[in-house]
Amino acid sequence: MTVFALDSASKAAGVCILQDGRMVYHASLCRGLTHSETLLPLCDEAFRAAQITPADVDVFAAAAGPGSFTGLRIGLATLKGLAFVHNTPCVCVSTLEALALSQPCDGIVAAALDARRGEVYCAAFRVRNGAAERLFDDGAMPAAEFAARLDELDEPGVCAGDGAPLVCAHTERFRALPEAYRTDCALGAALAAHREALAGRCVTSADCIPDYQRLSQAQRERAAREAAQKKES
């Protein structure tokens, strides 16, 4: 089984290819460019380096959220474009689970992405032998609140994601992973997709939708205006 996974949910764009559970290609880029500039060239290079075409892929996967709203849309649009031509099965992976699975360590791994305004998209997992047992559901909350929840766990751990420094500023039981390991989650997305595909839990490209976890800024501003208008009336 060949799995092609991509990630554009946060600052880094990444691509990973697994063949029968073995990683044959993995690359990421974090240069401050938009994912619309970087993701397709990364995919093209991955196909050429692995000497395969989209027709050879059995499962396409993407980190489907939470994360940057624009980044998620770019990633899933790319996934749909690659998968639609050959009606290839797809898997949408939690960005936070993919972050946890991408880390080279066992134990409790907290995943946190900067959601701005002092909040993080977050979850926690117990990782062992390449499998992730979920401890907290994906959510969005203040970094201090997530840190307090982590402190209630029975053992300390590490924190991945670009929101890790925000969380670890409020807890001494969890340490932020080095920045080089913190943001890329394409490998974890591929590993999770391989597991889901073996279990028969794939979807069509049309069924792939982003998991934003909260309203967009435009939606929040509209709700605030409507609430203000209702209060005035």
Contact yes or no for 16/25 (Cβ under 8 A) = yes
Is the confidence at residue 142, as pLDDT, over 90?
A: yes
**Model confidence over 173-195: pLDDT tens digits?**
999 999 887 888 999 999 999 99
- pLDDT, residue 227, reads 65
- Taking CA atoms, 52 is separated from 2, 43, 77, 96, 201, in Å, by 10, 11, 21, 28, 24
Could you name the CATH architecture of 2-95+184-213? 2-Layer Sandwich (3.30)
* Spatial distance between the Cα atoms of 95 and 145, rounded to a whole number of angstroms: 20
Sheet holding 22-29, edge to edge: 22-29, 13-19, 2-7, 59-63, 90-93
Q: Of 161, 185, 179, which Cα lies nearest the Cα of 15?
A: 185
**What percent of the chain shows pLDDT beyond 70?**
94
Is residue 5 predicted with pLDDT exceeding 70?
yes
Question: Does residue 233 have a pLDDT over 80?
Answer: no
Query: What is residue 145's predicted lDDT score, i.e. its pLDDT?
Result: 98
Half-sphere exposure at residue 215, Cβ-oriented, CA atoms within 13 angstroms: 8
Closest by Cα among 34, 12, 47, 45 to 189: 12
pLDDT at 223: 62
DSSP 10: S
pTM: 0.91
Query: Is 2-95+184-213's fold the same as 103-182's?
Result: yes
What's the half-sphere exposure (Cβ side, CA atoms, 13 Å) at 146? Answer: 32
Q: Domain 103-182 - what CATH class?
A: alpha beta
**Element (H or E) spanning 144, and its range?**
helix 143-151
In the chain, what are the domain boundaries?
2-95+184-213, 103-182
- CA-CA distance, 205 to 220, in Å (whole number)? 29
Q: Which amino acid is at 192?
A: A
Angle, helices 69-84 vs 35-50, to 10°: value is 40
pLDDT tens digits for 203-218? 999 999 999 998 666 6
**More confident of the two residues 32 and 116:** 116
Q: What is the pLDDT of residues 10-69, one digit of tens each?
A: 989 999 999 999 999 999 998 877 899 999 999 999 999 999 999 999 999 999 999 999
